């Protein structure tokens, strides 16, 4: 995901920005108020979302043309005569990612006497880094459907003229069954070396056997039907809002697959998010201090995330959640001409991942 860089050069700031100097020269950062903080860089702190990836397999059965005669001519019992799907839930994965928290917007108001920072923002305005390069944003898996089975046998391809000329479905089924028995007999003769035409070597025998197998499977599909398999990837996006939260994400049916949570079919898949309260207590001063105007970042709190149904747990992990934590300040004095400060923030939680401070020589 392409990052948008905003480069502010000291000389350009001097020419374009007219900001009165103060006794303490530092980069001022204050809460963003549209129409007031019009000069500088507006950024957002992130909130954490959960990208939930669910994988399932769908097996689709299509009955054969002669399914009703499978028991009679092939002694194959319980052959289904109606199409149906069978779904199997394979796995559930959870990946956290960040989006801009529009309620936590701030502006870096630049002072011409301070060092002008090189700032990287995500496309949605999240602050990623100051005076250093940010890591590439992760790519989230998209919903998809992928065929994972081989091509179904084409029974009609192997119908003989005798089969096609038969006057009824029952007659065609009977002739087709006899053709299957003939193929099996020929295979046995080939294996014993008693066929009218014997192969020259093992490779030719292998080829002839494969052709007989292919022909038999094609004709059998006219009785037993065909099955195809697909892998379905379905995704859900959840923004945890409560320290203790349980919701029904979706329902899953063996025959219907994915079902909306408000339906009655299928088994409910529950999502549970529980704040583990890992934040240390914030120190409160008895005297009310003036709010500091400096860089904001977040300290997230860990949350236990579980996805489960009434039989098993599909996912169980600990994930830092930005909105369960609190916002802290990074000293504004770090961003003046005495220091070259490099800060890298997590795009998922907004916490400081790396902080390098280099004091510049006079």
- Please name the residues in contact with 167: beta carbons below 8 A apart, sequence gap of 6 or more: none
Roughly what angle, to the nearest 10 degrees, separates helices 202-224 and 169-192? 160
pLDDT at 138: 86
CA distance 37 to 43: 12
CA 160 to chain centre: 49
pLDDT of residue 39: 64
Per the domain annotation, does 252 fall within a domain?
A: no
Q: What is the DSSP string of 8-43?
A: --HHHHHHH------SS---EEEE--TTT--SSEEE
d(CA 81, CA 88): 22
Identify the pLDDT of residue 290: 55
Q: Distance (Å, rounded) from C-alpha 37 to C-alpha 177?
A: 83
Residues in contact with 257: Cβ distance below 8 Å, sequence separation at least 6, in sequence order? 56, 58, 85, 87, 232
Residue 37: the pLDDT is 46
pLDDT number for residue 131: 86
What order of strands is seen across the sheet that includes strand 41-62? 28-31, 84-109, 41-62, 226-238, 144-147
Long-range contacts made by residues 279-283, C-beta under 8 angstroms, separation at least 24? 279/325, 279/326, 282/326
In a domain, 179, yes or no: yes
pLDDT at 318: 98
Average pLDDT per consecutive 10 residues, the chain (362 residues; last block may be shorter): 38 34 47 48 92 97 96 95 96 97 84 69 91 89 92 87 94 96 90 76 87 94 95 97 91 96 93 91 60 78 96 97 92 65 92 83 62
Instruction: Report how far apart, in Å, the C-alpha atoms of 298 and of each of 99, 138, 244, 347, 357 are.
Output: 14, 20, 20, 11, 19
What's the number of domains the chain is made of? 1
DSSP 256: T
Cβ neighbours, 10 Å, residue 302: 17
Q: What's the rounded Cα separation, in Å, for the pair 29 and 104?
A: 13
- Give the whole-angstrom CA distance, residue 92 versus residue 313: 10
CB of 67 closer than 8 Å to CB of 223: yes
**Separate counts of helices (H) and strands (E) for the chain:** 5, 15
248: Cα separation from own chain's centroid: 19
Domain that holds residue 177: 66-88+152-228
Model pLDDT, residue 44: 93
Tell me the whole-structure pTM to 2 decimals: 0.79
Domain assignment present for 174: yes
In a domain, 46, yes or no: no
Residue 144 is assigned to a structural domain of this protein: no
Q: Identify whether 210 is part of a domain.
A: yes
254/248 Cα distance (integer angstroms): 18
Q: Does the residue 236 lie in any domain?
A: no
In a domain, 128, yes or no: no
């Amino acid at each position: 995901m392409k990052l948008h860089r905003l480069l502010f050069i000291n000389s350009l700031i001097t020419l374009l920005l007219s900001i009165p100097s103060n006794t303490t020269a530092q980069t001022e950062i204050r809460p963003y108020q549209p129409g007031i903080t019009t000069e500088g860089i507006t950024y957002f702190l992130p909130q954490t979302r959960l990208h939930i990836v669910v994988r399932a397999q769908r097996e689709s059965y299509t009955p054969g043309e002669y399914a009703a005669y499978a028991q009679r001519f092939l002694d194959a019992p319980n052959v289904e005569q109606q199409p149906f799907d069978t779904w199997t839930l394979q796995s559930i994965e959870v990946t956290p990612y960040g989006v801009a928290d529009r309620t936590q917007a701030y502006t870096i108001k630049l002072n011409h006497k301070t060092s002008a920072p090189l700032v990287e923002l995500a496309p949605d305005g999240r602050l990623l880094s100051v005076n250093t390069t940010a890591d590439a944003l992760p790519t989230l898996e998209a919903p998809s459907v992928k065929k994972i089975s081989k091509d179904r046998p084409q029974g009609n391809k192997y119908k003989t003229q005798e089969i096609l000329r038969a006057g009824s479905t029952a007659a065609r089924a009977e002739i087709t069954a006899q053709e299957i028995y003939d193929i099996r007999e020929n295979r046995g003769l080939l294996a014993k070396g008693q066929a009218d035409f014997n192969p020259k070597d093992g490779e030719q025998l292998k080829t002839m056997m494969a052709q007989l197998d292919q022909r038999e499977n094609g004709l059998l599909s006219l009785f037993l039907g065909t099955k195809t398999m697909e892998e379905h990837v379905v995704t859900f996006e959840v923004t945890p809002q409560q320290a203790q939260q349980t919701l029904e994400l979706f329902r899953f049916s063996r025959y219907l697959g994915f079902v909306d949570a408000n339906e009655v079919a299928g088994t409910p898949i529950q999502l549970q998010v529980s704040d583990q309260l890992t934040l240390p207590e914030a120190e409160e001063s008895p005297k009310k201090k003036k709010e500091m105007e400096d860089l904001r970042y977040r300290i997230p709190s860990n949350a236990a995330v579980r996805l489960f149904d009434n039989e098993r747990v599909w996912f169980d992990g600990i994930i830092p959640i930005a909105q369960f934590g609190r916002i802290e300040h990074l000293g504004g004095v770090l961003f003046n001409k005495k220091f070259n400060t490099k800060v890298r923030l997590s795009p998922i939680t907004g916490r400081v991942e790396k902080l390098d401070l280099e004091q510049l020589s006079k």
